[in-house]
Amino acid sequence: MSAMLIEFSSWFQPHLRFLATALVASLLVIFGTDINRGVRGMIRKAHFVLRTLVFVILCALGYGFLTVQGGIWLARGLTAIDAHILGIVIVLAFLVVGWLAERRSG
């Protein structure tokens, strides 16, 4: 059984950076509306130009930075997971993200 788990995890090992980035990007899509709503609430009374600038910075720089850096940080964390359970952790992480997306959609 142990050899099977290690083999299963080895399928994911070369793709950890991409998998981590996909997880982070998915979470940002799921919770992006809430983030935007929170920022909008903070700058609601600001001038139109400032509100537009903040929104552009949030979307272009903020979400971009979180996707790239979050993917790197998560990939580093995933590399620290024992090979016996890495594959299971990744599958469970995507199942949780899918469950969150389903809960949020309706």
pLDDT digit string, tens, across residues 53-101: 999 999 989 999 999 999 999 999 999 999 999 999 999 999 999 999 9
Of 1-10, 17-26, 41-50, minimum mean pLDDT range: 1-10
Taking the C-alpha atoms of residue 51 and residue 73, their distance in angstroms, rounded to an integer, is: 30
Residue 43 domain flag: yes
Residue 19 is assigned to a structural domain of this protein: no
Number of structural domains (the chain) is 1
- The answer to whether residue 78 is domain-embedded is yes
CA–CA separation, 29 and 97 (whole Å): 10
Examine residue 76 and state whether it is found in any structural domain, yes or no. Answer: yes
Query: What is the domain extent for residue 58?
Result: 27-101
Classify residue 14: in a domain, yes or no. Answer: no
The beta-carbon contacts of 89-94 under 8 Å, at least 24 apart in sequence, are 90/12, 90/19, 93/23, 94/23
Residue 6 lies in a domain: no
Evaluate whether residue 36 is within a structural domain: yes
Residue 20 located in a structural domain? no
Question: Is 0.85 topped by the overall pTM?
Answer: yes
Which letter, b or e, does each residue of 78-91 get, where b requires 16 or more Cβ atoms within 10 Å of its Cβ?
A: beeeeeeebbeebe
Q: What is the pLDDT of residue 106?
A: 67
